[in-house]
Amino acid sequence: MKPIGLVDGQLVDLNENVVPMEDRGHQFGDGVYEVTKVYNGHCFALKQHLDRLFRSLKELRIPAAYTPEELAEFHGNLIKESGITEGSVYLQITRGVAPRVHSFPDKVVPRLTMAIRPANPAANQELWANGAKVITAPDERWLRCDIKSLNLLGNILAKQKAKEAHCFEALMVRDGVVSEGSSSNFAVVKDGVIWTHPVNNLILKGVTRTIVVEELAPALDISVLEKGFSPEFMKTAQEAFLMGTSTEIMPVVGIDKAVVGDGTVGEITRKIQQAYVAKINRECKR
C-alpha cells in the first residue's frame, strides 16, 4: 500500500512537484475540494460527495471539466493502483493556471488533483467509544460556508485553538448561535429530539449530516429539529455529537468546561453511531 496522486487523470507520485506557481488554488484558494472515505476498497457515499462537488463548482462559476463518471473512475484507479482498502481520497479542482489577476481569467482550464492515503485505524477508536471534548470559538469564516472551498483559514485557526486546549474540535459560534464544528457538523439531543443547525449559507451541508437527518434518524423513529440554538441551550442538552466523513459519528461528552449529560455517551448518539456503521458495512460489503 502506498499513497499516490492523480493530476488531470494521470497517476503521479506524491513527491512530484505538480502544482504550477500560477495555479489559482495556490495563489488565491480559488477552488473546491471533497474528501471521500474508503472502506474495504469501496468509496462510501461517493455520489453524494460528487453531487456536492458539482454544486460548489457551480456556485464559484468554475466549469466542470470532468463528468461524475470520470471522477468516479479516477477514485477507483487510485484505490486499485495504491492497494489502499481503508483510507480516504482527497479531490481538489481549481479554476486553473493563469497569470495572477483577481478577476476570472479568460480561456483557463480547471485543474484536477487527487490523492489517496491510508487510514489510521486506531486514531479515533477511544473517542468513538467514550466521547470527545470540544470547545467553542468565534465563527470568523466568510459567509458562504455552504461552498466546500479551499479557503479554510477560519477553520484552521479554530481547529488550532481546540488542539491547544487538548480538545478534539471547535464549535463555531456566530451572533450567539452555534453553527457547526471547524471540520464537522454538530448536533445535540434534548428530551429525545436531535437539534442541528438548519442548512443555509452558514454551514456546510455535510454528507454524513444528510445521512443522519434524512435516513438514519427517521429509520430509528428519532425526531430531528433543524433549528439554531445558543451555547447556553447546547450546554443543557443530554447528549451531543459531531458528524463528518472523517469524524463519522463522534460522541461529545464535554463542551468548554461543561459536562454533557452525565459525561458518558448517550443512548440516541449510540443508536445513530451504530446505524451509521451498519450502513457503511452494508454498502461497502465489510
* Catalytic machinery residues: 148
> If you ran DSSP here, which 8-state letter would residue 146 be given?
T
8 A C-beta contact, residue 144 and residue 29: no
> If you ran DSSP here, which 8-state letter would residue 212 be given?
I
8 A C-beta contact, residue 194 and residue 275: no
What is the C-alpha separation between 144 and 173, in angstroms, rounded?
Answer: 15
Which amino acid is present at 232? E
User: What DSSP string describes 14-74?
Assistant: TTS----TTBHHHHH--EEEEEEEEETTEETTHHHHHHHHHHHHHHTT----S-HHHHHHH
What is the C-alpha separation between 217 and 234, in angstroms, rounded?
Answer: 20
What is the C-alpha separation between 9 and 2, in angstroms, rounded?
Answer: 18
What is the C-alpha separation between 75 and 94, in angstroms, rounded?
Answer: 18
> If you ran DSSP here, which 8-state letter would residue 112 be given?
E
- Sequence length of the chain is 286
